[in-house]
């Protein structure tokens, strides 16, 4: 192992200070479930690493009507928190028990597809991400946080410190479709939030995972839904548009063709759960 | 930076190790302390054979820098095995043919213990869910789930 220094900052302030001192070569480890496999395998051999387990970034609080989820809150902590049941459901679908005890909400934002399922639900909930550097903080919507495959809006010297989410005002639904029932990589993950007035869709957020360079909102499916009556026809139109809009990855789990087919099947089934 | 000294509780006893930067709990347990019930499988957090209990919760020791757990409590399979016999979960794994090659067994038993500590009477589905992060390539899982159910009954009557 070639790592020369391993820092364990005791506060978020200390963490961003270390980041400012060492620059982008400092590898950041929260739960370790993404970076450690690469280090163990010798694919990545960082000289300097910063672990965030003791940086005081864990825990769920409230800021007015907004829930604040510390970036290092584990998936198990989210699973134990019952304010938003579909977020709990999403947490339960992440990996197995031991990994959920380690992996963090902030780290999940950096998991390349087909991983990163929790973020799909967070997108449908219109979550925000708080970023901090050694001098200031800013809040960006999660949908603008992702800018490309393993690229985010994070500037050099910035750290994700918090995920901010409000209690959903409308109906939410979440489906992760994989090859197995539990601990499975995603073929496609679907999360939706709909505001309904009777049958009419007033507002829609449709988020997809494992079928693009990062979790994303299907704006075409959303516009097909808004203003229409939620029925089989509307759902079929939205599902077709989502399948057209996505850019599925291909891997050992599923081909691009299969993932695209499943986008429309799984999104249709998910939205059908919201039919009266 | 040179190595650091890390102390933690291992199976109820204080231990102190000299740790190189980022060295994992798995490496320390197996190579420095000789606790080889904790296996080294995929080293990617994918197989569960390196599972240990950290403050009672199952974690993958291959992904955990030992420096992170200073002052905390680690339990390995050695720690739940009585000096003169076996833990009830070990006995039922043996009796119900839940072991073939044995490589996954320490992880399976520790997750089963963590589950039974929280939920003394789990359903087969709850057992399968708890064990979903632990791979077994021999048994087909059915005997393992049965062994955990049987252990739960044994432990309730003891």
CATH number at residue A34: 3.30.43.10
Span A158-185, mean pLDDT?
Answer: 97
Q: From chain A, pick out residues whose CB is under 8 angstroms from the CB of B45.
A: 33, 36-37, 98-99, 102
Chain B contact for A76 (CB, 8 A cutoff): yes
B81-89 long-range contacts (CB < 8 A, ≥24 apart) are: B87/B113, B88/B151, B88/B154, B88/B155, B88/B158, B89/B113, B89/B116, B89/B147, B89/B148, B89/B151
Assess whether A136 and A159 both reside in one domain: yes
Is the pLDDT confidence value at B136 over 70? Answer: yes
Q: Is residue A193 very low, low, confident or very high in pLDDT (cuts 50, 70, 90)? A: very high
* Percent of chain B residues past pLDDT 70, beyond the cut: 99
- pLDDT number for residue A50: 98
Mean per-residue pLDDT over chain A, rounded: 97
Q: Are strands B4-10 and B73-75 parallel, antiparallel or unpaired?
A: parallel
A75 & A152 share domain: yes
Same domain? For A162 and A64 the reply is yes
Q: What residues make up the domain containing A23? A: 5-51
**Distance in Å, alpha carbon of A195 to nearest chain B alpha carbon:** 33
B116 touches chain A (CB under 8 A): no
Q: Is the pLDDT of residue A1 over 90?
A: no
Number of domains forming the structure of chain A: 3
Same domain, A254 and A191: yes
**Judgement on whether residues A18 and A88 belong to the same structural domain of the protein:** no
> Does B158 have pLDDT greater than 90?
no
Of the candidates A21, A82, A30, the residue with the CA atom closest to the CA atom of residue A51: A30
**pTM (2 decimals)?**
0.97
Average pLDDT over residues A69-78: 98
Please indicate whether, in this complex, the C-beta atoms of B132 and A96 are within 8 angstroms of each other: yes
Confidence of residue A163 (pLDDT cuts 50, 70, 90): very high
Of A145, A166, A187, the residue at which a domain comes to its end is A166
- Give the angle subtended at the CA of B81 by the CAs of B80 and B85, to the nearest 5°: 145
Q: Do A147 and A109 belong to one domain?
A: yes
Predicted confidence band of residue A216 (pLDDT cuts 50, 70, 90): very high
Among B51, B114, B133, the residue with its CB nearest the CB of A183 is: B133
| CATH code of A98's domain | 3.30.465.10
Alpha helices by DSSP H, listed for A125-194, are 142-145
pLDDT at B24 over 70: yes
Both A142 and A126 in a single domain?
yes
- Do A153 and A215 reside in the same domain of the chain? no
User: What is the interface size between A and B, counted as CB pairs within 8 Å?
Assistant: 91
Over residues B133-144, the mean pLDDT reads: 97
> Last residue of some domain: A125, A145, A166?
A166
Which of A115, A138, A166 delimits the end of a domain? A166
How large is the average pLDDT for residues A201-209? 98
Residue B143 C-alpha, separation from nearest chain A C-alpha, in angstroms: 19
pLDDT tens-digit map of B82-122: 999 999 999 999 999 999 999 999 999 999 999 999 999 99
Q: How confident is the model at residue A2 (pLDDT cuts 50, 70, 90)?
A: confident
Are both A92 and A159 inside the same structural domain?
yes
Reported as a pLDDT band with limits 50, 70 and 90, residue B1 is: low
In CATH, what number is assigned to the domain containing residue A225? 3.30.390.50
Which run of H or of E encompasses A151?
A: strand A151-152
A21 shares its domain with A94: no
How would you list the strands of the sheet with A60-63, edge to edge? A60-63, A66-70, A159-166, A128-132, A137-141
- Same domain (yes/no): A136, A209: no
Question: Do A82 and A155 have their domain in common?
Answer: yes
Contact between residue A157 and residue A134 where contact means Cβ atoms under 8 Å apart = yes
Instruction: Tell me the per-residue pLDDT of A251-264, one tens digit each, with 9 for 90 and over.
Output: 999 999 999 999 99
User: Structural domains in chain B?
Assistant: 4-79 (3.10.20.30), 88-157 (1.10.150.120)
- Residue B59 Cα, gap to closest chain A Cα (Å): 4
């Amino acid at each position: 192992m070639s790592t020369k220094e391993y820092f364990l900052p005791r506060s978020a302030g200390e963490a961003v200070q270390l980041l400012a001192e060492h620059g982008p070569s400092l590898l950041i480890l929260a739960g370790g479930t993404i970076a450690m496999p690469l280090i163990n395998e010798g694919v990545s051999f960082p000289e300097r690493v910063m672990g965030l387990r003791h940086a005081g970034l864990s825990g769920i609080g409230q800021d007015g009507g907004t829930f604040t989820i510390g970036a290092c809150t584990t998936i198990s902590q989210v699973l134990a928190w019952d304010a938003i049941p579909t977020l709990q459901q999403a947490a339960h679908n992440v990996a197995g028990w031991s990994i959920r005890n380690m992996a963090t909400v902030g780290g999940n934002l950096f998991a390349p597809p087909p991983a990163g399922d929790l973020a799909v639900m967070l997108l449908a909930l219109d979550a925000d991400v708080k970023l901090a550097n050694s001098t200031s903080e800013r809040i960006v919507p999660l949908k603008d946080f992702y800018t490309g495959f393993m690229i985010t809006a994070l500037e050099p010297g910035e750290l994700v410190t918090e995920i901010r989410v409000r209690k959903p005002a409308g109906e939410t639904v979440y489906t992760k479709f994989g090859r197995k029932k539990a601990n499975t990589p995603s073929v496609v993950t679907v999360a939706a939030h709909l505001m309904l007035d009777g049958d009419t869709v007033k507002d829609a957020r449709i988020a997809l995972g494992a079928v693009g360079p990062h979790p994303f909102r299907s704006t075409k499916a959303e516009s097909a839904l808004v203003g229409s009556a939620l029925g089989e026809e509307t759902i079929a139109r939205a599902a077709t548009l989502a399948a057209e809009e996505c850019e599925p990855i291909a891997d050992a789990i599923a081909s691009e063709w299969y993932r695209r087919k499943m986008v429309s099947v799984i999104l249709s089934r998910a939205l059908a759960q919201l039919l009266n | 930076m040179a190595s650091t000294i890390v102390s933690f509780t291992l199976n109820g006893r204080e231990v102190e190790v000299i740790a190189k930067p980022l060295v994992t709990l798995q490496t320390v347990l197996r190579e420095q302390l000789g606790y080889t019930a904790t296996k080294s499988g995929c080293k990617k957090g994918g197989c569960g054979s390196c599972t240990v209990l950290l403050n009672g919760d199952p974690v993958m020791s291959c992904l955990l820098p030992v420096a992170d757990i200073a002052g905390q409590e680690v339990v390995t399979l050695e720690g739940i095995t009585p000096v003169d016999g076996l833990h009830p979960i070990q006995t039922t794994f043996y009796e119900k043919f839940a072991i073939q090659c044995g490589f996954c067994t320490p992880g399976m038993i520790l997750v089963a213990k963590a589950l039974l500590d929280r939920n003394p009477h789990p359903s087969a589905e709850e057992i399968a869910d708890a064990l979903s992060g632990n791979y077994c390539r021999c048994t087909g899982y059915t005997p393992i789930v049965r062994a955990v159910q049987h252990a739960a009954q044994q432990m309730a009557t003891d």
